[in-house]
């Protein structure tokens, strides 16, 4: 059967790039993002490829939407790759943690941490069947402690720990699920989210998401369990981050 990938946040930026990359590798795709118009436009650009494209707009932090995505996977009959790319930045300009609105921080964690974990929980039976891979998109803000980036960075640090813990729990002497879980810091990119982090600033010096393509081509060629539990930097000279 043809391989199937589910990509969240697929309407623009890195998610849109990955959709095009995987479509060119003959994957069937399940794509989701909050903006239906942009998502449909992104998906229509993939019609030149032979794979099946399923589009389901919605908020990944919503349980009902997660169930819709699970139903779509069931219709495809398999899932080989889950890319948890959807994220929110939080308030812009970004406030310091000392004055960060806690309601906003809860939403950042709901989208950036709980939603990826929720999708893994729902889709794990399908990933087990294919010995598939979960890719959680992280950030250098997870380890940088940058002033103003505390809310977003804390959510990505939590996602890194979720990724590593799942990697250990799903692959040990007591629980051999053969599902790989990794996190990837794609690096600074010229995206709408990055622009929102720097309102009024020219970010044209940042590379486009296409700068990460050599990494993704390499990653797709690896055996999933050989990369399990690792954290990668997609634009670094050495992709693997040593613990």
List active site positions.
152
Which runs of consecutive H residues, i.e. helices, occur in 77-149? Answer: 102-109, 115-130, 141-144
**For residue 66, what are the contacts with CB-CB under 8 A and spacing of at least 6?**
60, 115, 118, 119, 122
**For residue 80, what are the contacts with CB-CB under 8 A and spacing of at least 6?**
3, 4, 5, 27, 127, 130, 132, 133
CA distance 50 to 26: 7
Q: Which two tokens stand for residue 12?
A: 């623009």
CA distance 104 to 110: 10
């Amino acid at each position: 059967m043809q391989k199937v990938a589910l990509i969240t946040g697929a309407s623009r930026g890195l998610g849109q790039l990955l959709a095009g990359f995987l479509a060119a590798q003959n994957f069937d795709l399940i794509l989701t993002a909050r903006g239906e118009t942009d998502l449909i436009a992104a998906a229509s650009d993939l019609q030149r490829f032979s794979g099946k494209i399923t589009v389901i707009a919605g908020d990944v932090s919503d349980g009902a939407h997660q169930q819709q995505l699970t139903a779509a996977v069931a219709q495809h009959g398999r899932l080989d790759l889950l890319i948890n790319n959807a994220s929110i930045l939080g308030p812009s300009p970004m406030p310091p943690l000392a004055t960060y609105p806690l309601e906003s921080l809860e939403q950042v964690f709901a989208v950036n941490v709980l939603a990826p974990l929720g999708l893994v929980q729902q889709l794990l039976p399908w990933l087990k069947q294919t010995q598939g891979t979960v890719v959680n998109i992280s950030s250098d803000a997870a380890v940088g402690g940058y002033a103003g980036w505390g809310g977003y960075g804390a959510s990505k640090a939590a996602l890194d720990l979720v990724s590593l813990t799942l990697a250990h729990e799903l692959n040990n002497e007591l629980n051999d699920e053969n599902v790989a879980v990794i996190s990837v810091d794609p690096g600074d990119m010229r995206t709408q989210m990055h622009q929102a982090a720097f309102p009024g600033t020219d970010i044209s010096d940042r590379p486009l998401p296409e700068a990460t393509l050599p990494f993704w081509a390499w990653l797709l060629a690896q055996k999933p369990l050989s990369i399990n539990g690792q954290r990668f930097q997609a634009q670094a000279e050495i992709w693997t981050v040593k613990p």
